[in-house]
Amino acid sequence: MAASEVQGLPVDPREAGVRGVRGGIGQTDHEDSKDCILEPLSLPESPGGTTALEGSPSVPCIFCEEHFPMAEQDKLLKHMIIEHKIVIADVKLVADFRRYILYWRKRFTEQPITDFCSVIRINSTAPFEEQDNYYLLCDALPEDRILREELQKHKLKEVLDQQQRERNDTSFHGVCMFCSEEFRGNRSVLLNHMAREHAFNIGLPDNIVNCTEFLCTLQKKLDNLQCLYCEKTFRDKNTLKDHMRKKQHRRINPKNREYDRFYVINYLELGKSWEEVQSEDDRELLDLQEDDWSDWQEYPVSAVCLFCEKQEETIDKLYVHMKDTHEFDLLRIKSELGLNFYHQVKLVNFIRRQVHQCKCYSCHVKFKSKADLRTHMEDTKHTSLLPDRKTWDQLEYYFPTYENDTLLCTLSDSESDLTAQEQTENVPIISEDTSRLCALKQSSVLNQLLLQGCLEN
């Protein structure tokens, strides 16, 4: 009965306008002395994510004709407690508050309130005229529990449908919150840009719903000169930007429940937040007598191309892509130059940094965009023309250009990849026993080397 009643209740969605706001980052200096990276970078994640902003219709009182906006839910609850002496337990766990109220408004007209609610008597020791009865509506009542579960399922379906529309939407137009670059198409383009260029990652686009409203909420906080992580307010925009960069506060506050409605994980289970879902351990699996891992499938880790944003699930596919598309054969270069694991790391980080700075590492010409650089390098065949080894074989390139560069984790470091010369150079050295120093001085090979050196001199 509860399910059929819930499905029939109306919802009044409306679209709201979204505005983009430009940030204030200065133009990049083309001098080499200015080509330094002062903030962590991130490669693009999986694509997806957009939104449509829904409005807040009014909600009536369960017993009277008083109406309150959805944004003033607390006022309605206060009104029902004071005027009608009814309390709704765990109201924050109700997936759709308006439908919940409308359902019980109808049911209370059909049967007495005492058929559904527990009665709580206040001042029970006082005289009868001073005693009050309050009514508690909670999920201990099977009908209320079923209603909450049905509302949760219905809400999850709406969220997933909305998320799918956002994935397929290509009409988005917005401006980055940290620079003046505009984006059109899918919202994932803007999210990946902020994660990659500004180290501002609010999560994978596929995990976000109502993304446009989410971005507007964040932009409003920045317009009010408020840090998104510590939520402190600053006197001007430059001070705020310096604070977020130096303190690494280019992220949202995970304890702020205002953001929960923008993540799909918060709609999965009734009464459980994302923290509770993630912290759950699989206790039922521990009760099994034998652990069966035959159906285990490892989640593929995507690696990103050195020259474009192409992602592949395996390193072999990525090698083929770079060879066929960009004429860059990393395996051949590794073999010809005799690169070990650490040499490969420095080479990859060097190329990443040059491409990030839109600079050709062969002719040292700088371009306005990565697309122009890629066109130039492909036309001139400069992708395969590496500079002298001393240019990229530097200690500074031990540090990754991008924090989440999974390509570095897939580079081979096996002994079979070393050249014959490297294998002879890396001879293990066994220290001599120093417990008997006198005998060591007489029998040490250093005496022979010292004598040989004196004869040669």
Q: Are 433 and 440 in contact (CB under 8 A)?
A: yes
Please name the amino acid found at residue 185: G
Phi-psi region of 86 (alpha: psi -120 to 50; beta: other; left: phi over 0): beta
For residues 137 and 114, what is the distance between their CA atoms, to the nearest angstrom?
10
State pLDDT tens for residues 46-95: 443 333 334 457 899 999 999 999 888 899 999 999 999 999 998 888 88
| Whether pLDDT at 447 is above 50 | yes
Residue 35: what pLDDT?
Answer: 56
Residue 48: what pLDDT?
Answer: 38
| Whether pLDDT at 203 is above 50 | yes
Q: Are 108 and 63 in contact (CB under 8 A)?
A: yes
SS3 202: coil
SS3 76: helix
pTM of the predicted protein model: 0.44
Residue 422: what pLDDT?
Answer: 47
**Most confidently modeled range among 69-78, 263-272, 284-293, 406-415:** 69-78
Residue 26: what pLDDT?
Answer: 40
Residue 294: what pLDDT?
Answer: 63
Pairing of strands 86-88, 132-137: parallel
Structure tokens at 191: 């999210």
Please name the amino acid found at residue 174: G
Over residues 260-264, the mean pLDDT reads 86
For 77-176, strand residue ranges (E) read 86-88, 118-122, 132-137, 172-175
**Most confidently modeled range among 7-11, 20-24, 354-358:** 354-358
For residues 41 and 404, what is the distance between their CA atoms, to the nearest angstrom?
8
SS3 303: strand
Q: Are 142 and 1 in contact (CB under 8 A)?
A: no
Phi-psi region of 313 (alpha: psi -120 to 50; beta: other; left: phi over 0): alpha
pLDDT band at residue 271 using 50, 70 and 90 as cut-offs: low
Q: Cα dihedral sign for 65, 69, 70, 73? A: negative
β-pair partners for 175? 182
Structure tokens at 430: 């066994």
pLDDT band at residue 34 using 50, 70 and 90 as cut-offs: very low
| Whether pLDDT at 443 is above 50 | yes
Single out the residue of 17, 89, 15, 104 nearest to residue 59, CA to CA. 104
Q: Are 211 and 261 in contact (CB under 8 A)?
A: no
